[in-house]
Amino acid sequence: MSKKIQNQEEIAVNEVVSKTEKWFEENGKKVIITLVALIILFAGGYAYKYLVMDKNETAAAELIVAAQEHLKGENPNYELALNGNESGAGFLEVIEQYGSTDAGNIAKHYAGICYLRLGDLGNAAKYLEEYDAVGGSVICGIINAQNLGLQGDVAVEKKEYEKAADLFEEAVEESENNYTAPYYLYKQALALVAAGKNAEAKACCQTLIEKYPNSMEKSAAEKLLGL
């Protein structure tokens, strides 16, 4: 491997990680805070009907709300969100008690996010992978895409770049909209560069530029095409 290609791979890895961190800081809190409400209201109140009818769903949703409180504000406390305290349960308790419910499924996604932010890649991968994709609305697709994208982030951290690229590709397919699709397409391209697959990376960039010309990622994709 030439020194130039090696340097390109290192730059790509750094960009994947730093872009992930920036995006989460700017958007992750909003996603976390609103996720439960959006999920339980998908498909015209379909899930809400079951929430009302099923006491386990109600109890699990209430516990998630308590865990969410630790994720609000400028300094989220991921440890407390996971483990809870005397004031309320954490996501792990929701999973333990109500893991088979819809709310428990959401808690697995949350737990994966918390572990990733804490740098525990093993548990982050475990809980993100345990989350079952949900359907019924556009927002569900976005959440499913986020889950796949976060799994891709874990793979990047583990230097499993080809696996990461595949996960980012799945994230694009899960929610093809003007915001998440170009975001994950660009991350896919960066992961492919890190894997030494520059031709495939450039194909991703070209797709991004052609399909999402007004996206924030367009200029970065154009620069990546120059590698």
Distances from the Cα of 38 to the Cα of 32, 44, 52, angstroms: 10, 11, 15
Looking from the CA of 110 toward its CB, the CA atoms found within 13 Å total 40
How many CA atoms, within 13 angstroms, populate the side-chain half-sphere of residue 169? 15
Question: Which two tokens mark 223?
Answer: 């620069």
The structure tokens 């929610």 sit at 175
Cα–Cα dist 145/191, whole Å: 17
Q: What is the pLDDT of residue 204?
A: 95
Mark out the alpha helices in 158-179 (DSSP H runs).
161-174
What does the pLDDT profile of the chain (227 residues) look like in tens digits? 444 444 544 545 455 444 444 444 444 444 444 454 444 444 334 444 554 446 787 788 788 888 888 887 778 899 999 999 887 889 999 999 888 888 889 899 989 999 999 999 999 999 999 999 887 677 778 889 999 999 999 999 999 999 999 999 999 999 888 888 999 999 999 999 999 999 999 999 999 999 999 998 999 999 888 76
- Number of residues in the chain: 227
pLDDT at 136: 66
> What does the pLDDT read at residue 120?
95
Distance CA 31, CA 146 (A): 10
- The CB-side HSE value for 215 (13 A sphere, CA atoms) comes to 25
Q: Contact, 63 vs 94, CB < 8 A?
A: yes
Cβ density class 88-109: b for 16+ within 10 Å, e for less: bbbbbbbbebbeebbbbbbbbb
- Domain boundary assignment for the chain: 3-160
* Other beta carbons less than 10 A from residue 117's beta carbon: 18
